[in-house]
């Protein structure tokens, strides 16, 4: 009996001095606006899997696809209000909250998708963006990709001159608008949900997109010409509210950041693979593919880079990205 009592006392004492890690289960709600089987969804599920493994299931991520928790703007605001823990958002949306990130909206910022991948994994780039976001109340978990952007149209674009006067749908982003003006087009911001109808009725003559969403949304049915320009590598930061992140136990924070880094690399490759696989489907669908000379596009883009890189933080991020081989 005395031995049993002693054993119980020792067990209690050990529990008192043991680390308090994972004292209670932590469930993080993550929001993105794509289908669950698209690269955004695959990347978030990978992050959820890695976090659960690293914490023995004590910290998990519930992934909500198709904007179930709100569109990108609402999801970012949700991280501020506590209704969303993790948000995947196009950089163009997040730049409304942190203008320093507008650097990632610049045409031809990256050499190609592989150089983008290396730049977004570079510790100096990650640190600079993290510092900027932290000052705005956000924590950077990782970077996803939304693909290499090309130009769809209703007539072949074989040279930049073929864009003259064409109404091209763009995101409502100043750098995007100025880029297509420089390319000779008439940029026309329009809601993405209205694009198919806009192409069908002639409200716009074309748009920019990645292979994956050009095919998935069947835009080729109403804009069957596809110019491989690669004018933009669309960056999609994955964020939390800084206060919510700091409230997590230290070991959960470390596990989440590690899971984010690995999931980011996984997702960016998944988007490259998806774009490559989809290109074959586009050819099978009868899309007319052209390969314009990129030199005039790059030359037209250079003044826009100079115009939109203004603050010290923007210059730092721009120079760091450019320095990655």
Residue that is written with structure tokens 């003006």 in the block: 181
Tokens of 266: 């996984």
Can you give the pLDDT at residue 29? 96
Q: Is residue 215's pLDDT more than 60?
A: yes
Q: Is residue 19's pLDDT more than 60?
A: no
| Dist CA 148 CA 86 (whole Å) | 24
Once rounded to an integer, what is the mean pLDDT over residues 246-269? 96
Q: Is residue 51's pLDDT more than 80?
A: yes
- Runs of H (alpha helix) within the chain: 2-17, 39-54, 72-81, 91-94, 113-121, 123-135, 174-182, 195-201, 211-216, 242-246, 250-284, 295-308, 312-323
Supply the Cα-derived Rg of the chain in whole angstroms.
Answer: 23
Contact of 282 with 214, CB cutoff 8 Å: yes
Once rounded to an integer, what is the mean pLDDT over residues 68-90? 93
Tokens of 253: 């924070």
DSSP 8-class letter at 65: -
pLDDT in tens, 86-138: 999 999 899 999 999 999 999 999 999 999 999 999 999 999 999 999 999 99
| Dist CA 158 CA 294 (whole Å) | 11
Q: Homologous superfamily of 24-323 in CATH? A: Bacterial extracellular solute-binding protein, family 7 (3.40.190.170)
Residue that is written with structure tokens 């804009």 in the block: 223
Least confident among 142-146, 178-182, 191-195, 239-243: 191-195
296 or 13, higher pLDDT:
296
pTM: 0.85
DSSP 8-class letter at 219: G
Burial class (CB in 10 A: 0-12, 13-18, 19+), 303: exposed
Can you give the pLDDT at residue 212? 86
pLDDT in tens, 131-162: 999 999 999 999 999 999 999 999 999 999 99
3-state class (DSSP) for residue 57: coil
- Residue 66, φ and ψ in degrees, nearest 5: 55, 35
Once rounded to an integer, what is the mean pLDDT over residues 274-300? 93
Where are the domains positioned within the chain?
24-323
| Dist CA 42 CA 222 (whole Å) | 29
144 or 4, higher pLDDT:
144
| Dist CA 214 CA 275 (whole Å) | 10
Contact of 182 with 300, CB cutoff 8 Å: yes
| Dist CA 75 CA 239 (whole Å) | 10
User: At CB < 8 A and 24+ separation, what contacts does 178-183 make?
Assistant: 178/304, 178/307, 178/308, 179/107, 179/231, 179/232, 179/300, 179/301, 179/304, 180/208, 182/300, 182/301, 182/303, 182/304, 183/231, 183/297, 183/300
Q: Measuring CA to CA, how many Å separate 41 from each of 34, 47, 237?
A: 7, 10, 14
């Amino acid at each position: 009996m005395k031995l049993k009592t002693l054993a119980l006392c020792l067990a209690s004492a050990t529990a008192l001095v043991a680390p308090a890690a994972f004292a209670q289960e932590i469930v993080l709600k993550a929001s993105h606006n794509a289908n669950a089987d698209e690269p955004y969804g695959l990347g978030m599920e990978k992050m959820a899997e890695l976090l659960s493994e690293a914490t023995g299931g004590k910290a998990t991520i519930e992934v909500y696809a198709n904007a179930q928790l709100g569109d990108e703007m609402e999801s970012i605001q949700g991280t501020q209000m506590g209704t969303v823990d993790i948000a995947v958002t196009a950089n163009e949306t997040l730049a409304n909250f942190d203008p320093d990130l507008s650097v990632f909206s610049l045409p031809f910022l990256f050499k190609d998708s592989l150089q983008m991948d290396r730049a977004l994994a570079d510790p100096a780039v990650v640190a600079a963006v993290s510092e900027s976001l932290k000052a705005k109340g956000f924590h950077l978990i990782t970077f996803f990709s939304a693909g290499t952007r090309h130009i769809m149209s209703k007539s072949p674009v074989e040279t930049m001159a073929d864009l003259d006067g064409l109404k091209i749908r763009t995101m409502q982003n100043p750098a995007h608008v100025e880029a297509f003006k420089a390319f000779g087009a008439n940029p026309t911001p329009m809601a993405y949900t209205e694009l198919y109808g806009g192409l069908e009725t002639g409200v716009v003559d074309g748009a920019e997109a990645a292979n994956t969403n050009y095919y998935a949304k069947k835009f080729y049915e109403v804009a069957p010409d596809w110019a491989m320009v690669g004018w933009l590598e669309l960056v999609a930061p994955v964020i939390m509210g800084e206060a919510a992140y700091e409230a997590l136990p230290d070991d959960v924070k470390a596990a989440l950041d590690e899971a984010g880094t690995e999931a980011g690399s996984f997702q960016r490759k998944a988007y490259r693979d998806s774009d490559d696989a989809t290109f074959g489907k586009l050819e099978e669908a009868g899309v007319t593919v052209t390969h314009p000379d990129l030199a005039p596009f790059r030359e037209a883009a250079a003044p826009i880079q100079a115009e939109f890189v203004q603050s010290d933080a923007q210059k730092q991020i721009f120079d760091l990205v450019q320095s990655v081989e």
